[in-house]
Structure 1
Amino acid sequence: MKKNILYLSLAVIIGLLGGYLLFSINADSTNEDLTDNHNHLETTENQMWTCSMHPQIMQPEPGDCPICGMDLIPAETSAEGLAFNEIKMTENAMALANIQTTIVGSVEASDEDGIISLSGKIAENEENNAVQASYFDGRIEKLNVNYEGQKVNKGQLLATIYAPSLVAAQQELITAASLKESQPALYKAVRNKLKNWKLSDKQIDAIEASGSVRDNFPVYATVSGTVTEVIAKEGDYVKQGQPILSVSNLNSVWAEFDAYEKQISQFNKGQKIKVTTNAYPNKEFDAVISFIDPVLNNNTRTVTIRTTLNNKENLFKPGMFVTGKIEGAIHTTENSLSIPASAVLWTGERSLVYIKTNPNEAVFEMREVTLGVRNGDNFTITSGLKNGDEIVTRGTFTVDAAAQLQGKKSMMNKSGGKTMTGHEGHLGIQESNTENKPNSDLFMEMNLPVAFQIAFQAALEPYFKMVDAFVASDANQVLALAKTTLEKMKAIEESHLNKMENSHLSKSIEILDAISSNSDLKNQRDQLVVLNENIVALAMNIKTPSETLYVQKCPMANSNKGAIWLSTEKEIKNPYYGDDMLTCGSVIEEIN
């Protein structure tokens, strides 16, 4: 009996112990499942979704890519732990955009220390310009010099003019010659009258000796030089003193450089300057500063610095790009910082860089800086950065585009805001493509109201002139025409546009505003990439264009990622490189 009670007690104890162990394990398992589930939910909440073909797209929810329509995939990393205005980019996006960073350091002494570089152009020496005019009324019977660039020498026959007033004067001379013994004063007065019309003594003597009147009189060059403008043509009636030709003596030319407002104190008349050209990169020409413009250009905030160059060997052509280096202009300090100019985004009011805030991950944040003097391809920084900061020096616009897409502070958005992508299905700003055709979003069908199409085509007129200014590499003209295009774009009625159409129009206005506030040609061309993607997207949906439009693409622009533009001509004139690679590109689409 006692044994049975003992066995029963042992069984109860073993049972209780087994139950405790079993329920304890189940509880732990349940807790782990709850923890895992909680972590999974937390991960899901912070998970960002991207497109394998367009890694700049970052959305908080799964869905379709707003550019190509492909299913979004989970991003490689989440944005967990980021500050409000920090952005994180995937390794794939970094590789595709070829983003490079540099650690900021103090300016070190080198061979270039104390040398400031200026960019400029060769111009005609206006002191050597002359106008060949007609010295009497008449009709041009023969024009012997009739095209620009033609060489003329002093005493060369320029034109033959029929001059009725000279016919009467010749008759007076013949009559006065017969009376020169009795009325010498009259004879002398008639001869002087003909001399005032630039007839030589030899010509006057010939008329007097022949006793006959000539109908046509020659006009000879009074200076030697190169014809820069043909003002009149054969058959024209000209008045006394009216110009026929403009002639410039190119034995000496001007090299005119643009100096920024902050650099003015560095220059003085008589300062030595070394000039180099793209045409003769291995040659340096010594000169001195002969003129500093006393008036500041309000649009570009620059002054013109000029030097005179000897051109007897005809090496310099007006319009040629040149670079000037001036020694002893910059005095750096131990605490000054230098960064590449490619790192700076300039809006006209603000100078911005992107700083890498996490040395181990691709996390970036926009930072406003104050620029000092520009020295060649570098800027000195007076505030905003410190020694050791890591900044983006290549692909800065791509990082800025990613910031705009994620609703963070960016070049166009001082305070940040909701991303334009979200899950609405349309992209407000696009990166340039790596394929040989434009982004598929550019060819997305839109329903543009007729009134919009008419107003948009009116805005394209100054846009095409602006593209021509890019081709000519004229930053000041680009700035002026961007303002005109901006005014036309702002006047377009937006009330009947869908979100996608409105986003393209709004982005075009933003970029035009940036270009019209920026006189740096490189920055203007960088922003032209984004502007053209939005302009072309709208132009592709014009149903009845007033003329055939051509979508053209340069595969080498935008750091070899390619960039497009719109033209009214089939001939390629590259706005991203100008004369350097004028014909680089091809027509990829026609809008008929």
Structure 2
Amino acid sequence: MNKNVLYIGIAVIAGLLAGYLIFGGSTRTSNTNTEDSNISDDHDHTGESLVQMWTCSMHPQIMQPEPGDCPICGMDLIPAESSADGLTANEIKMTKNAMALANVQTLKVGKTTSDSENTISLSGKIKLNEEVNAVQASYFDGRIERLNIDYVGQEVKKGQLLATIYAPNLVAAQQELITAASLKDTQLELYNAVRNKLQLWKLTERQINSIEDTGKVVENFPIYATVSGTVSEKLASEGDYVKQGQPILKVSNLNSVWAEFDVYENQIAQFKEGQNIKITSNAYPNKVFNANVSFIDPVLNTVTRTVAVRAVLQNSERLFKPGMFVSGKIDSSMASPLGQLSIPATAIMWTGERSLVYIKTNPNEPVFEMREITLGNRNGDDFTVVSGLKNGDEIVTNGTFTVDAAAQLQGKKSMMNRDKGSTESETPVMKMTLPQSFQQSFKTSLEHYINLKDAFVEGNSKQVSTLAKSTSQKLKLITQDGLGNMEIAHLAKSIEMLDAIGANTDLENQRSHFVILNENFVPLVKNTEGLSETLYIQKCPMADNNKGAFWLSNLKEIRNPYYGEQMMNCGSIIDSVQ
């Protein structure tokens, strides 16, 4: 028995020793070969999992390596799309399917040649020619008994009966005429005065003579058209009481109409009165109508940054209808320099001050990046490029806004997300010179302002109104001696906004004025020295219809005065005043 156990133990030990001799060396050799392979070859990461990033659905520019709350609005972060394509911070990649669905098209930027069309394309509308419009008015007080015009667009002719009016004053005047006519041999001046009064009420000699001859008073007096044309607007109805001079109808002569076009600010210098303009319409695509520029609006539309350019079109055949869209082409007085870059207008996104395009950064892959450019003149359907692009760059010409939407969703730099990849450091101030006497007085208003801001946070509109009035009163007591025009303008605008806030108790209206107040009040604070405590300039990117708005606070903690409890923590500190 003992001998068997001994034999079994010896066999086990021998087996283990044999296994070590057979497999141990090969394992070391294998490990050695693997280490050598790792040293000589590049490490392959394809099997490794990508690092998961987390973003905010409301603020896609936020990217964090772990879940949590959005530092701007406090919402829960969501997983962001991962990418292993080696893109830069502001590049986006679209799938072929998305490119096809959005019909995204690209074009390589080229230089202008001598064959380039040297014309300016314009878009506009047909409008009524206000120079030949007429208003049919009541020349006396009364009630419209019958209106013979049934609808807008109805044709009327000069002398046509438009309406009948019961006019008590006119009835009395007719009775005066009948009485004065019987006394005209002895009271000629009275007789002439009564006839003259009726003439001023636009009664004709024939009507006056008829009243005098018949001796009968006309109760419902007729009104006749003084011009021929088309009714463009009904301003009264049957049964209405009208005052002397009150319009009843607006009549337009459509034998001529206006073609009015919008011209961009950078094109104004190329237009002058008398220039020939070729006009086309979708209604008559095979016809070209020639006209001349008759008017250039001297006032710029500050919203669209355009001026109106007008041409008069003869319209005896009634081809043009008011409201119809038309296009115009006019020869440019400024030829495009040869060799200048030119891109189609469809490639450009405008944000007011900026002109943006999307450039394809990878010739073999649908990878795009936003680029800000400077434009020159418009020629036809193309714009010349002053800076931002070079010859051979490939840009998106169709589906640009789809590409921009994809960039926004991925939290990349886009038309609406200008500052992606950089910290927000802009400070809403400019350099001012404030006298010491002004600064000392101005600092007394800061406590009132802080209390006003806190009332906005609480959403207490009545308290906001009260504090705005007290803050305004403080500012009105400050002497303006030694202040420059800019400083005076900021102070006056601050007072104006405080008065507007104090004048009503509608919280949303108050908050809209609070935006403008801060734009003027904060620069004054930034230029004030020796504050008793540090003030923080804080900004909410969603306030003022997503334009962003800032405010002052004596606390680091974000307490949003534009949304209050709705989004109390939405915002960040962008600067401070020590």
Contact 2:52 2:80 in 1 (8 A): no
> What is the 5 A alignment of 1:405-420?
405-417=409-421
| CA shift digits 1:384-433 (9 cap, x unpaired) | 11111111222323333333344432222233249xxxxxxxxxxxxxxx
**1:271 is matched with which residue: 275, 290, 307?**
275
Contact 1:129 1:246 in 2 (8 A): yes
- Alignment partner of 1:94 is 2:125: no
Distance 2:312 2:331 in 1: 18
Q: 1:201 to 1:231 in 2, by over 3 A?
A: same
Partner of 1:124: 128
| CA shift digits 1:14-51 (9 cap, x unpaired) | xxxxx999976763355337878x733366366899xx
Partner of 2:170: 166
| CA shift digits 1:455-502 (9 cap, x unpaired) | xxxxxxxxxxxxxxxxxxxxxxxxxxxxx99x88x99xxxxxxxxxxx
Give ranges in structure 2 of 5+ residues lacking alignment. Answer: 1-23, 54-59, 68-78, 423-507, 516-539, 549-578
Partner of 2:332: 328
Partner of 1:534: none
Contact 2:92 2:368 in 1 (8 A): yes
SS for the counterpart of 2:287 is: coil
Distance 1:45 1:226 in 2: 75
Distance 1:285 1:366 in 2: 41
- Alignment partner of 1:213 is 2:217: yes
SS for the counterpart of 2:328 is: strand
Partner of 2:113: 108
SS for the counterpart of 1:31 is: helix
> What is the 5 A alignment of 1:154-553?
154-181=158-185, 183-417=187-421, 513=547
Distance 2:405 2:365 in 1: 19
| CA shift digits 1:173-216 (9 cap, x unpaired) | 33333344555444433333322221222222222222222212
Contact 1:122 1:318 in 2 (8 A): yes
SS for the counterpart of 1:219 is: strand
Contact 1:252 1:312 in 2 (8 A): yes
Q: 1:513 to 1:341 in 2, by over 3 A?
A: farther
Partner of 2:32: 27
Contact 2:117 2:379 in 1 (8 A): no
Compute the displacement of 1:300 (Å): 1.2
Distance 1:123 1:508 in 2: 39
AA aligned to 2:85 is S
Partner of 2:560: none
Compute the displacement of 1:332 (Å): 0.7
Distance 2:354 2:381 in 1: 19
Compute the displacement of 1:109 (Å): 3.7
AA aligned to 1:107 is T
AA aligned to 2:161 is L
Distance 1:170 1:510 in 2: 63
Partner of 1:78: 85
AA aligned to 2:162 is L
> What is the 5 A alignment of 1:36-55?
39-41=43-45, 44=48
Q: 1:237 to 1:86 in 2, by over 3 A?
A: closer
Distance 2:110 2:545 in 1: 32
> What is the 5 A alignment of 1:534-573?
none
Contact 1:47 1:78 in 2 (8 A): no
Contact 2:117 2:380 in 1 (8 A): no
Compute the displacement of 1:60 (Å): 11
Q: 1:366 to 1:248 in 2, by over 3 A?
A: same
SS for the counterpart of 2:43 is: helix
Q: 1:323 to 1:95 in 2, by over 3 A?
A: closer
AA aligned to 2:420 is G
Compute the displacement of 1:155 (Å): 0.5
Distance 1:31 1:406 in 2: 41
| CA shift digits 1:520-557 (9 cap, x unpaired) | xxxxxxxxxxxxxxxxxxxxxxxxxxxxxxxxxxxxxx
AA aligned to 1:103 is K
Contact 2:373 2:388 in 1 (8 A): yes
Contact 2:332 2:379 in 1 (8 A): no
Partner of 1:540: none
Compute the displacement of 1:240 (Å): 2.0
Contact 1:115 1:330 in 2 (8 A): no
Compute the displacement of 1:241 (Å): 1.7
Contact 2:541 2:547 in 1 (8 A): no
Distance 2:40 2:46 in 1: 10
Partner of 1:578: none
- Alignment partner of 1:144 is 2:148: yes
Q: RMSD in angstroms over aligned alpha carbons?
A: 4.2
AA aligned to 2:230 is T
Compute the displacement of 1:337 (Å): 1.4
Distance 1:72 1:44 in 2: 18
SS for the counterpart of 1:358 is: coil
Compute the displacement of 1:271 (Å): 0.5
Distance 1:72 1:258 in 2: 43
Distance 1:368 1:178 in 2: 87
Compute the displacement of 1:104 (Å): 0.1
Compute the displacement of 1:91 (Å): 3.9
Contact 1:407 1:417 in 2 (8 A): no
Compute the displacement of 1:508 (Å): 8.3
Q: 1:104 to 1:509 in 2, by over 3 A?
A: farther
Distance 1:407 1:251 in 2: 56
Aligned residues: 408
Compute the displacement of 1:157 (Å): 0.6
AA aligned to 1:305 is V
SS for the counterpart of 2:361 is: strand
Compute the displacement of 1:93 (Å): 4.0
Give ranges in structure 1 of 5+ residues lacking alignment. Answer: 1-18, 50-55, 64-70, 419-483, 492-505, 515-592
Contact 1:412 1:510 in 2 (8 A): no
AA aligned to 1:101 is T
Distance 1:109 1:512 in 2: 45
Distance 1:90 1:47 in 2: 21
Distance 2:82 2:191 in 1: 104
Q: 1:219 to 1:388 in 2, by over 3 A?
A: same
Q: TM-score, normalised by structure 2?
A: 0.61
Partner of 2:491: none
